[in-house]
Structure 1
Amino acid sequence: MATSRRRSGSITALSLGYLESKKNLAGSAGGVVGVGLALTGVAGGLWPLVVAGLYAAGALIAPPERVTPPEFDPSEQLGVLREDFLRLREYLAEVELPPAAGGKLTELLELYERLLDPGWVADVLAADPESVHVLSRAVRTDVPESVDTYNRARWWNRLQPGTVPPERHLERQLSALFDEAERLTAGLHEVETRRQQTHTTYLEERGRS
């Protein structure tokens, strides 16, 4: 019974939606023209077909209904990213790393933390989807992948010594990620600098006028 009521409600909603749609309104306008032709005798005995044809023509040429895209709150995206960052830190706390790589990783995580810390810095970050994507990729993929591949390569290196030490690759990967994070930070700083310059220009021009 409940399913039947839901289906009935859905059909009713669809029917009401179509009645209010642009296609139905345009088709109805065409149908009215067809009725007018029928009343004046222009359509002759084929007036039902004329009315139906004009209705269909009006419905076809009417623009499609615009579906409003969903709005995503950037702050909510950062909230989820912060949770993933905490999970990453919990994972890294249980991993043993060589001193050099461990120090570079600590610097990297501190930089991520400052960017994600709730406040105006995070607001600037949230306004730049590309920066959010870069940081999300680093937290969710790049850092855990770097550490995990190091741990696996270290085990194989014990069986086959003499190859490039896996900690060197790890250090290079973390250095690359740190450079990327610094570029991201510099880009956000540039945005704020341009904003300040724009406001200065506005105030000076307003003063002249």
Structure 2
Amino acid sequence: MATSRGLAARAWEYVESGKNLAGSACGLAGVGLALAGVAGAYWPVVVAGLYGAGALIAPPRRTPVPPFPGPAEQLDLVREDLGRLRGYVAEVELPPAAEGRLSELLDLYAALLDPGWVTEVLATEPEAVHALARAIRLDVPECVDTYNRTRWWTRLTPGGESPERHLERQLSVLAEEAERLTADLQDREVRRQQTHTAYLEERGRS
């Protein structure tokens, strides 16, 4: 029964398609030629051929692109993920130096994601949105989780570079990345201001 309904739906979809409409229009033209006596005894072949030609030249049915979330909607989701990340980090015991560095980093992420004109600027930079989402959803959780697990093993087998040192290095890299992202957004606004200044000066001269 489901197969029959599916076949019926596909058949009806073709009836309403541009290919069938174009083929039918050409087929009707063939019927007109047959009635005018132009097609002769082979009029069924002419009608079928014109229908087929019309169906072939008609553009294919356009499949609509699925509605993916835009940058602004993505930032809303990243903002929610940042809240979950803060909750996760609060439950993990971290060394004081790393805890302070991580707190500063999360505060910077929060400032970039604070609703308002800053996020409007950020939303125009897909690569920046991707980098911020990756840091919040993947990089920071991985830093904290690997530290937490490695610390346990280090207690069993002391020696080597400390997990705390690795965590601090990782957070330093992420902080530098976030600072570069912030600087790039600032440069964008600076260039916008400079462009407007140049425009006003040029307009004044003219």
> Structure 2 length as normaliser, TM-score?
0.86
Structure 2 equivalent of residue 106 of structure 1: 103
Structure 1 equivalent of residue 118 of structure 2: 121
Instruction: Note the aligned Cα RMSD (angstroms).
Output: 2.5
Match of 1:50 among 46, 53, 62: 46
Question: How far apart are residue 71 of structure 1 and its match?
Answer: 5.9
1:63 correspondence with 2:55:
no
**Number of residues of Structure 1 aligned to a counterpart in Structure 2:** 202
Q: 1:100 to 1:118 in 2, by over 3 A?
A: same
1:196 correspondence with 2:193:
yes
Match of 1:163 among 160, 163, 187: 160
* Structure 2: unaligned runs, 5 residues or longer: none
Secondary structure of 1:118's partner? Answer: coil
Work out the CA distance in 2 between the residues paired with 1:25 and 1:208: 60
Structure 2 equivalent of residue 11 of structure 1: 9
Work out the CA distance in 1 between the residues paired with 2:50 and 2:201: 61
Secondary structure of 2:151's partner? Answer: helix
> Structure 1 length as normaliser, TM-score?
0.85
Q: Check conservation: 2:112, 2:119, Cα contact below 8 A.
A: yes
Work out the CA distance in 2 between the residues paired with 1:202 and 1:66: 43
Question: How far apart are residue 82 of structure 1 and its match?
Answer: 1.1
Residue identity in the other structure for 2:59: P
Identity of aligned residues (%): 67
Q: 1:38 to 1:184 in 2, by over 3 A?
A: same
Work out the CA distance in 2 between the residues paired with 1:139 and 1:174: 12
Question: How far apart are residue 134 of structure 1 and its match?
Answer: 0.6
Structure 2 equivalent of residue 80 of structure 1: 77
